[in-house]
Amino acid sequence: MRVFKFGGASVKDADAVKNVVSVLQEVGYKDTLVVISAMGKTTNAMENVVESYFNDKNNLPTAIQEVEEYHQGILADLFENPQHPIHAKVKLLFEELKGFLAWNKSPKYAFVYDQVVCYGELLSTTIMSAYLNEVNIPNTWLDVRSMIKTDNTYRDAQVNWERTQAEVVNHVDMANLNITQGFLGSDDNNFTTTLGREGSDYTAAILAYCLNAESVTIWKDVPGVLNADPRNFENAELLEQISYREAIELAFYGASVIHPKTLQPLQRKEIPLHVKSFVSPKDPGTTVGKGVGIVPKVPCFIVKKNQVLLKLSSLDFSFIVENNISEIFKLFHDHRLKVDMIQNSAISFSVCLDNKFKGLQPLLEELKRKFKVVCHEDVSLYTIRHFNDEAVKSLQNGKSVLVEQRGKETVQLVVK
């Protein structure tokens, strides 16, 4: 069995949905499990629904209506018959969403987030499955929440691998085409959980691991894994081959093509990962697998924007040692700030953080009780794997470098 993953850009409108069908017809779809993300920018729109629910109830009907109208537009373009059963299925999903928001009593943002945002994937896969049937490609729609079992860490759930393995084998029809959702799971009480933003790649890897799949293919709007994001860097080059180890390094530092968690389960069973273009499906793309580092061997540029740089020093000029650092990292964990780079000396400690869960302000209040704190917001963290002097100079030009850290193969710069 093969596992395919199509992201939001590949199903953003009716033409994109039709193109997915063309890709499947061109490369084959038997013995295939297809993981599909929410359509286009639906996850962002669903996050707006959650935000309205908590902070602007008057806007809530409008926020939901925008999502509904977007999907209705796609339905109108895909299905000529206004009485097609897909319309009732989509209507029911929106009724479920509105029903949850009406009866929910939980004040926990992360819990509500997962119960609401999941409808993006449920809608996209329901529509995709119906359209495939419409063009005579029979398929089985699967609810991934019945397969991927997790703990109840909402918005960043951890997989229960033993239970997931059993459920996946029990649910997947190995001989046919299967359609399911990315990003989602469920806890012991069958409440929806999510695996973190951009977690659909990880979903594909989990399912591939459990099925002993022959390969995973991530279909993108780029020709494969590039040595730099073309939105931020000029003259990006295609990487034809990448080892698991190198891909994990790139993902860890923030390369956006492959989700950081995706590679570990694939590496354990040596399942190759292909990253290919849904525009040109027969092009070779990039293969991630066992063996060589990177082909061709060129510097790889990664940037993380909207980061926070903290510089901490002790109020009494004493050393910052193990007990201080342990306390600091516990605070990062408690306030859900992800550490992307650290640098320390005897009396100071610098750290670049991702504030995606908005825990910075309460963190600063606690840190300032024990440390002198200098905070730089809205900085960018640049990482270059396999750097050379020319690559480093290209990033330094015209920028204020706040922190620079070099290793044997990697250099990181925090710039303003």
What's the pLDDT tens digit per position in 116-126?
A: 999 999 999 99
**In whole angstroms, what is the distance from residue 46 CA to residue 359 CA?**
21
Whether residue 242 is contained in a domain is answered as no
CA distances from 82 to 72, 89, 132, 141, 197 (A): 11, 13, 17, 22, 34
Number of independent structural domains in the chain: 2
Same domain, 304 and 209: no
Here the tokens at position 51 are 């935000």
Q: Where does a domain end: 149, 182, 213?
A: 213
Which of 42-56, 81-95, 330-344 is least confident? Answer: 330-344
Same domain, 71 and 174: yes
The answer to whether 393 and 362 have CB atoms below 8 angstroms apart is: no
Going by the annotation, the residues of the binding site are 231
Residues making up the chain, counted from first to last: 416
Residues 6+ apart with CB under 8 A from 254: 302, 303, 304, 340, 381, 383
Amino acid, single-letter form, for residue 81: N
Whether residue 285 is contained in a domain is answered as no
Element (H, E) at 391: helix 389-396
CA pseudo-torsion sign 386, 392, 394, 400: positive
Give, as one character, the DSSP assignment of residue 157.
P
Same domain, 87 and 201: yes
Q: What is the pTM of this model?
A: 0.85
Whether residue 266 is contained in a domain is answered as no
Rg of the chain in Å (alpha carbons): 23
* CATH code at position 346: 3.30.2130.10
Average pLDDT over residues 383-392: 94
Q: How many CA atoms lie within 13 A of 326 on its CB side?
A: 3
Same domain, 305 and 191: no
Provide the residue range defining the domain that includes 356. 300-415
CA distances from 126 to 59, 177, 402 (A): 27, 14, 48
DSSP 224-252: S-BSS-TTTSSS--B--EEEHHHHHHHHH
pLDDT digits (tens, 9 = 90+) for 165-201: 999 999 998 889 999 999 999 999 999 999 987 789 9
Confidence band of 231 (pLDDT split at 50, 70, 90): confident
Here the tokens at position 162 are 């033993």
Same domain, 33 and 140: yes
Which of 20-34, 95-109, 245-259, 304-318 is least confident? Answer: 245-259
* CATH code at position 179: 3.40.1160.10
Element (H, E) at 230: none
Whether residue 145 is contained in a domain is answered as yes
Same domain, 59 and 201: yes
Which of 15-24, 133-142, 270-279, 320-329 is least confident? Answer: 320-329
pLDDT digits (tens, 9 = 90+) for 8-17: 999 999 999 9
Q: Which of 30, 32, 31 is nearest to 219 (CA)?
A: 32
The answer to whether 251 and 302 have CB atoms below 8 angstroms apart is: no
Same domain, 304 and 201: no
Q: Where does a domain end: 164, 195, 213?
A: 213
Give, as one character, the DSSP assignment of residue 149.
B
Going by the annotation, the residues of the binding site for ATP are 231
CA distances from 106 to 95, 103, 109, 110, 344 (A): 19, 9, 8, 10, 41
